[in-house]
Amino acid sequence: MFGNINNNEMILSDIGVIVQQEWEKSFEIRKELFCDAFVIMPNHIHGIVRIDKTNHDGAIPPVETHGRASLQRQSTNKPQNHGIAYRFPKSISSFVAGFKSSATKRINEYRNIPKLSVWQTRFHDHIIRNDDDYIHIKRYVETNAINWGNDKFFKES
């Protein structure tokens, strides 16, 4: 949907261009987020997103993900959603939800197909905790198009 790999290079389709534009726009809107690496693949995307949530006093709040760890760490004054994940403002979860929503809206307008799903309902996230992990993941993102034939998401066109 997003394009094709040709000679180890990703060639974006019109829909892929929309995804790229919405990704870049996300970082203009959300000043606390920074993109360290990003690649659009034919049927998925990869990115490294850095959150700078430094408070005025210099303290850095804990990083929240969309997974069970964050749900277990919710304070008792947060709404009880009976198993439904609560998205913390300015979290990766709220960022991804906003990005997917805006990209889906534009893609469906382009295709003239309202309310058609574009993305899977969940996403995989990982908190990078050290330099070695960062280097490994960044290299994976940057070389994803070259290694497309071995990618777990690879599908013959």
Strand extents, DSSP E, 14-153: 33-40, 45-51
Distance from C-alpha of 61 to C-alpha of 54, rounded to nearest angstrom: 7
Number of domains observed in the structure of the chain: 1
In a domain, 124, yes or no: yes
In a domain, 99, yes or no: yes
pLDDT digits (tens, 9 = 90+) for 127-136: 999 999 999 9
Instruction: Give me the CATH number covering residue 142.
Output: 3.30.70.1290
In a domain, 75, yes or no: no
Q: Which domain holds residue 117?
A: 3-51+87-150
In a domain, 130, yes or no: yes
In a domain, 95, yes or no: yes
Enter the tokens of residue 3.
Answer: 């394009």
Q: Which residues of 55-84 are buried (b: 16+ CB within 10 A; e: fewer)?
A: eeeeeeeebbbbeeebbeeeeeeeeeeeee
In a domain, 81, yes or no: no
In a domain, 76, yes or no: no
What's the whole-model pTM score?
Answer: 0.77
Distance from C-alpha of 76 to C-alpha of 63, rounded to nearest angstrom: 18
In a domain, 137, yes or no: yes
pLDDT digits (tens, 9 = 90+) for 69-127: 444 444 445 555 555 555 566 788 889 999 999 999 999 999 999 888 899 888 888 89
- Mean residue pLDDT of the chain comes to 82
Distance from C-alpha of 6 to C-alpha of 145, rounded to nearest angstrom: 9
